[in-house]
A and B are shown apart, each in its own frame.
Chain A
């Protein structure tokens, strides 16, 4: 580490970075503020007083269009389904890729393809395939599969990063001490990678919870939350739209914070155990 004086480049880029962060979060904060709009306020500034009117409207009153509660519940369940599946399947595939096996190359490219094929193709393709096979698309079947094509590649890429840095000496030590493969996995490998696995779960949940393009044509007759919000943008002209935006964003943020805290706690506990 060298501690020379900061040049002008540092200050220019610092200003640039701050502007970038403002660009990222500025618009979100405007809808956050506007969701506290007074009862007679509109979709834009100025604020016409402040109230919780629109949150009340969102949570306790029947909406003219849409079913916020049902959509939230479906998105939440689907998010949990994607989270668990992404964690298990990426972990297994990550373990598989640590060794040579026939078809490893094609499977890897297929996973990457899953990431770069435009969402609307997945959406259309799954919709058509269900139609051709005479199946009824639904959020828990076709939309679930569509979202997995988006969450699994991220999960696998995270597992790659984890296992690239993983020191196999720990496993060898466990084996030398007479541990079975399952004991080695459960007592050595899993605790070491657990924080990263929580990261995979976080991606699995949030990417599913916010997914739109792949779900659009695959969700069947019941909407997930992002589809519901999109539907509202065309019909709803009151700040209840912003209240919904604020509530779901706060929910996403809460999930992210919980995941980050549990990762930090796990890391700290391990550091303490190694030190003690």
Chain B
């Protein structure tokens, strides 16, 4: 009897221990180190606010945060638009369950392959002598190769949409599949056209999926550094990249202060999304 009462605690134990060791403890360490002091060779325990002061008062920080938010808004809007219609197509236009499953897998398999390779794969496509420039030149659309295709904000956004749209498709598809089809039937019988059904029935019911997808995309883009570094060729800034540079310079307390600020902003954004949409019934 006691064993069966104890069972859930024993079963949840490993998960709790791992998350405590590799999530709670590291974040506590970041918070602690963000108050430490450092010089060019080492960091040492202290309780100073200089890391925060320097971060907050620097115009570079503000520009970087604004740039990161800009990426977030653009990528969020595009992934939402693309992801919603892909999920809608799969959920409502594909009638055979097998086809639906196969097409859904086609959409999710790239998620299980390497992000780095998927980024590299844009080089032969977008580069100066890449496929896109070559074909546009041979079609006579342009005379000289377009330079902005690779190593630019355009490339960063394109790669992020490429990498992160799947995070939108899956949760939205999930909620769309759970919509009771008789509701749509009823709306149609009551004289609603396709557009009205979409606006008044489907989108309101898809909100939890949209919210979960948005949380994924927003947090991924806010913390991204590798896509920005790779696809902008080092020409654009993001908060993650700024942190990565500080880490490379061994300025751990500065990076930690930045991390705390980033974490607060990400949590505020997630909190904001959760206030607008209640996802609890989804979980």
Which residues of A pack against B, CB within 8 Å? Answer: 1, 7, 9-10, 13-14, 16-17, 20-21, 23-28, 30-31, 34, 43-45, 85, 88-90, 92-93, 95-104, 107-108, 110-111, 113-122, 124-129, 131-132, 145-146, 148-149, 152, 156, 160, 181, 202-203, 206-207, 209-210, 212-213, 216-217, 226, 229-230, 233, 241-242, 245, 248-249, 252-253, 256, 260
Contacts and interface: CB of A to CB of B under 8 A. Distances in A.
Interface of B: 4, 7-16, 18-19, 21-27, 29-30, 32-33, 82, 85-86, 88-90, 93, 95, 103, 105-107, 109-110, 112-118, 120-125, 127, 129-131, 134, 162, 165, 194, 215-216, 219-220, 222-226, 230, 240, 243-244, 247, 252, 255-256, 259, 262-263, 266, 270, 283
A24 B127 contact: no
Nearest to B166: A24
Contacts of B23: 110, 113-114, 117, 122, 149
For the residues of A in contact with B, the DSSP-based class is helix
B120 A145 contact: no
A30 B131 contact: yes
B22 A97 contact: no
A98 B223 CA distance: 33
Contact of B107 (A24, A125, A242): A24
A93 B247 contact: no
B11 A95 contact: yes
Nearest to B174: A161
A129 B93 CA distance: 51
B244 A120 contact: yes
Contacts of B255: 124
A248 B18 contact: no
A248 B162 contact: no
A124 B85 contact: no
A260 B105 contact: yes
Contacts of B27: 117, 121, 125
Contact of A125 (B7, B12, B26): B26
A104 B252 CA distance: 34
Nearest to B93: A10
Nearest to A206: B112
Given A95-B11, A116-B219, A256-B109, A148 B18 contact: yes
Nearest to A233: B120
Contacts of A146: 22
Given A25-B110, A213-B226, 19 more contacts: A13-B85, A21-B106, A23-B162, A24-B162, A31-B120, A44-B131, A89-B15, A92-B11, A97-B8, A114-B23, A117-B266, A119-B223, A124-B259, A212-B115, A230-B226, A233-B230, A245-B121, A248-B117, A252-B112
25 contacts: A10-B93, A16-B86, A20-B82, A20-B165, A27-B162, A31-B120, A85-B18, A90-B15, A95-B11, A100-B8, A107-B16, A110-B16, A116-B215, A118-B222, A120-B223, A121-B263, A122-B23, A124-B243, A125-B26, A125-B29, A128-B33, A131-B252, A148-B18, A212-B116, A213-B223
A248 B114 contact: yes
Closest 5 CB pairs of A and B: A118-B223, A125-B26, A96-B11, A145-B22, A27-B121
Given A30-B124, A34-B124, A249-B117, A17 B131 contact: no
Nearest to A114: B23
Contacts of A89: 14-15, 18
Contacts of B266: 116-118
Contact of B93 (A13, A24, A110, A206): A13
A253 B109 contact: yes
Given A31-B124, A43-B123, A124 B19 contact: no
Contacts of A108: 283
B30 A207 contact: no
Given A30-B121, A116-B266, A96 B244 contact: no
Contacts of A241: 120
Given A125-B27, A230-B226, A245-B120, A132 B33 contact: yes
B263 A16 contact: no
Question: Which of the listed residues B16, B113, B266 has the most CB atoms from chain A within 10 Å of its own CB?
Answer: B113
B225 A213 contact: yes
A30 B129 CA distance: 14
A43 B130 CA distance: 9
B12 A20 contact: no
A206 B108 CA distance: 13
User: Which residue of B12, B27, B127 has the most chain A CB atoms within 10 A of its CB atom?
Assistant: B12
B124 A121 contact: no
Given A89-B18, A213-B226, A101 B12 contact: yes
Nearest to A99: B8
A121 B262 contact: yes
A265 B20 CA distance: 38
A106 to B, nearest CB: 9
Contact of A122 (B26, B134, B215, B270): B26
